[in-house]
Amino acid sequence: MRVTESGHLEYYLEYIDYTEEANEWIGVFQKNPFNQACLEGKSNGSTEIMLRPSFPQWYRGQQVPKHFSKSEVIARVCDTWKVGDWVDWHNKDCYWTGQIIELTSKTVVEVNIYSLIYKIF
């Protein structure tokens, strides 16, 4: 963590999910490029926390709703989960990342998070 000469807070990020990505300094608060004020080039666009982007909704195969907002980000999975896959999920207002260590059933897997084992649905 550092504070730049201009007073902006930055973190040095390591992307554990994307090992091919280089570590980089990123500003904690940035202008949202999708904010209408920013799109119009106005300087009064408010800043937002940018440590992690919004988590996409996941759908399997053809489950994506027909009437889906174009601005929404989604991830569509057309494969089955397998041991060793990395998964992200949202639980109790926090995003978690873990590695599948066992397939308990079609809808339940055991995930290893920092050497702790949890069952997720």
Q: What is the pLDDT of residues 54-66, one digit of tens each?
A: 555 666 656 666 6
CB 87 within 8 A of CB 79: no
Q: Looking at residue 71, what is its pLDDT?
A: 42
Please provide the average confidence, as pLDDT, over all residues in the chain.
Answer: 72
CB 50 within 8 A of CB 26: yes
Q: How far is CA 116 from CA 57, 66, 97, 110, in A?
A: 25, 39, 12, 10
Please tell me the least confidently modeled range out of 56-60, 97-101, 111-115: 56-60
pLDDT digits (tens, 9 = 90+) for 1-39: 899 998 888 988 887 777 888 888 988 888 776 677 666
Structural domain boundaries in the chain: 2-49, 57-120
Global pTM reads 0.36
**Which CATH number does the domain 57-120 belong to among 2.120.10, 3.40.50, 2.30.30, 2.60.40?**
2.30.30
CB-CB neighbours of 102 under 10 Å: 12
Give the rounded percent of residues in the chain with a pLDDT score beyond 70. 55
